[in-house]
């Protein structure tokens, strides 16, 4: 059946009306006329697949990756990069209006000049094809293994090492489906490898120890991380700041755009060297340390103790004496803090902030909140709570941290108006 694509979802799927119901059609572009086949019929919506593009968008593009239509990790390789940025801006705008009930202008997305080969981390799935172990991803919305050893989002160094591993898996003792994580350092492009166990440790060590770019090897088994050789932490850098990060700790995967993101946060925070800032969900202290030179006092809170240990070490690494860090749940610790803060930075996981934390910030009448999020839906939900108390949005700035994927990174600056419902 024929339909007109008139919208886009947060996951990059085209939206149409078919049989008086909303239909989600992957790999389509708003404005296109397409023939589709319904493959999943539900009471309130349906899903379809393209059988023919009747009237293609002038901004439709040929995907760079041969696995694009199978893999599912990317959502936008069938469109031009400029259109992708506009679509991501629209997703943020729609989320704020629909979920957050906020009608506010969103700034153009800050994109990349060269939006390929930017990832400094990959998690491969190990599967079997015709009796041979292979690296790959799961196919879209499934656990079917897709053998692949070249992803265009990965750095050249990670790609080269991945192909080395892929050609050697038969000799590593990996006998069932497992995960393989590769991370790359900033300064010297050295690599860190984590293999999910159990494995033949000696066989694995003898294999990968000969790879010149591999600096560290770990086995992850029974929720425990075992260090086999090399450095115990990754050396990473964002602008002038240096960080040493534990293997399992979170760190942004796009160094170039992370600096743009942190620069925007720093600009929004302003020059307040006589004042104090609180970094909630601070992780390894990345943002807190990046903006620390603008404030008299910086305090970070995170519920993952290894990350807090990294944060404390990173403050010393950058010769900062005005930073302190504390382990524990933000919603439990921050309401009890006696210190008055002029600015709070929120950078939670995709699930967003705990409601109790948002209410506590309102009660404390924090003058400024800078919210960093990779999930427009939970961002909009949390912003609504803050706006219903006493905050108003001053600026919404998306940053394209994950080109070609549907993920949206966004910064919202809010100020306390002193009046509820603004």
Q: HEC profile for 53-106?
A: EEECCCCECCCCCCCHHHHCCCCCCCECHHHHHHHHHHHHHHHHHHCCCCCCCC
pLDDT at 409: 97
Residues 327 and 362 in one domain: yes
34, 35, 141, 334 from 50: Cα distances, Å: 7, 6, 17, 50
87 domain-assigned: no
For residue 178, whether the previous peptide bond is cis, meaning omega lies within 30 degrees of 0, is no
Q: Measured between alpha carbons, how far is 404 from 406 in angstroms, rounded to an integer? A: 7
Q: Measured between alpha carbons, how far is 8 from 14 in angstroms, rounded to an integer? A: 5
Residues 286 and 379 in one domain: yes
83 domain-assigned: no
Residues 259 and 390 in one domain: yes
Cα 170 → chain centroid: 32
Domain CATH number, residue 398: 3.40.50.150
148 domain-assigned: yes
Tokens found for residue 97:
């209006």
pTM of the model: 0.94
Domain CATH number, residue 136: 2.40.50.1070
Closest residue by Cα to residue 311 from 344, 286, 336: 286
**Containing H/E element for 226?**
strand 224-230
Residues 230 and 265 in one domain: no
CB burial string 388-420: b at 16+ within 10 A, e below:
ebbbbbebbbbbbbbbbbbbbbbbbbbbbeeee
- Out of 235, 266, 284, pick the residue that ends a domain: 235
Residues 228 and 259 in one domain: no
Residues 216 and 273 in one domain: no
Contact 295, 322 (CB under 8 A): yes
Residues 219 and 165 in one domain: yes
Residues 105 and 158 in one domain: no
Which residues are marked as active site?
374
Handedness of CA 264, 253, 82, 411 (dihedral sign): negative
Q: Measured between alpha carbons, how far is 66 from 83 in angstroms, rounded to an integer? A: 21
Residues 227 and 368 in one domain: no
Residues 101 and 149 in one domain: no
Q: Can you name the residues that pair with 36 across neighbouring β-strands?
A: 50
Q: With a cut of 50, which residues of the chain have pLDDT below it? A: 175
Burial of 85 (0-12, 13-18, 19+ CB in 10 A): buried
**Angle at alpha carbon of residue 398, lines to 238 and 277, rounded to 5°:** 55
pLDDT at 175: 45
Q: Measured between alpha carbons, how far is 357 from 377 in angstroms, rounded to an integer? A: 18
102 domain-assigned: yes
pLDDT at 174: 54
Contact 422, 132 (CB under 8 A): no
CB burial string 257-269: b at 16+ within 10 A, e below:
bbbbbbbbbbebb
| Residues spanned by the domain of 178 | 121-235
- Out of 169, 202, 235, pick the residue that ends a domain: 235
Task: Give 229-292 as a DSSP string.
Answer: EE-SSEEEEETTEEEEE-TTS---SBHHHHHHHHHHHHHHH--EEEEEEEEET-TTTHHHHHHG
Tokens found for residue 227:
């260090």
71 domain-assigned: no
Residues 306 and 270 in one domain: yes
Other C-beta atoms within 10 Å of 126: how many? 22
- For the chain, first and last CA: distance in Å? 46
CB burial string 153-174: b at 16+ within 10 A, e below:
bbbebbbebbebbbeebeebbb
**How many domains, the chain?**
3
- Out of 182, 201, 235, pick the residue that ends a domain: 235
80 domain-assigned: no
Q: Measured between alpha carbons, how far is 313 from 315 in angstroms, rounded to an integer? A: 5
CA R_g for the chain? 23
Residues 173 and 272 in one domain: no
- Residue with structure tokens 């003058």? 367
385 domain-assigned: yes
Q: Can you name the residues that pair with 17 across neighbouring β-strands?
A: 22
pLDDT at 126: 87
**Containing H/E element for 221?**
strand 214-221
Tokens found for residue 378:
């939970």
240 domain-assigned: no
């Amino acid at each position: 059946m024929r339909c007109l694509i008139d919208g886009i979802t947060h996951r990059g799927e085209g939206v149409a009306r078919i049989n008086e119901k909303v239909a989600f059609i992957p790999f389509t572009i708003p404005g296109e006329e397409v023939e589709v086949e319904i493959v999943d019929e539900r009471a309130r919506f349906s899903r379809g697949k393209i059988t023919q593009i009747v009237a293609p968008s002038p901004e439709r593009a040929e995907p760079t990756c041969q696995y694009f239509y199978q893999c599912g990790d990317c959502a936008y390789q069938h469109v031009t990069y400029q259109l992708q940025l506009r679509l991501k801006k629209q997703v943020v705008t729609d989320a704020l209006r629909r979920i957050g009930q906020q009608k506010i202008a969103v700034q153009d997305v800050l994109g990349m000049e060269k939006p390929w080969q930017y990832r400094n981390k990959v998690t491969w799935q190990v599967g079997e094809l015709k009796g041979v172990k292979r690296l790959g991803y799961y196919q879209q919305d499934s656990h079917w293994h897709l053998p692949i050893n070249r992803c265009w989002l990965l750095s050249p160094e990670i790609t080269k090492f991945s192909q080395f591993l892929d050609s050697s898996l038969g000799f590593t003792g990996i006998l069932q489906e497992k995960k393989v994580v590769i991370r790359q350092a900033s300064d010297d492009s050295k690599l860190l490898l984590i293999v999910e166990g159990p494995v033949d440790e000696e066989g694995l060590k003898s294999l990968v120890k000969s790879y010149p770019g591999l600096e560290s090897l770990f086995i992850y088994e029974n929720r425990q991380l075992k260090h086999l050789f090399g450095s115990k932490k990754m050396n990473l850098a964002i602008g002038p700041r240096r960080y040493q990060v534990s293997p399992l700790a979170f760190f942004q995967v796009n160094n170039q755009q992370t600096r743009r993101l942190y620069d925007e946060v720093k600009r929004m925070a302003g020059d307040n060297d006589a004042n104090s800032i609180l970094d909630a969900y601070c992780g390894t202290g990345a943002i807190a340390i990046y903006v620390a030179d603008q404030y008299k006092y910086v305090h970070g809170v995170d519920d993952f103790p290894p990350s807090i240990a990294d944060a404390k070490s990173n403050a010393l690494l950058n010769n900062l004496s005005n930073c302190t860090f504390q382990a524990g749940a933000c919603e439990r610790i921050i309401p009890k803090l006696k210190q008055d803060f002029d600015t709070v930075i929120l950078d939670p996981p995709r699930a967003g902030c705990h409601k109790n934390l948002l209410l506590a910030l309102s009660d404390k009448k924090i003058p400024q909140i800078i919210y960093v999020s990779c999930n427009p839906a939970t961002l909009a939900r949390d912003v609504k709570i803050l706006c219903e108390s006493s905050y108003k949005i001053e600026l919404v700035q998306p940053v394209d941290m994950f080109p070609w994927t549907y993920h949206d990174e966004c910064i919202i600056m809010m100020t306390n108006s002193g009046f509820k419902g603004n």
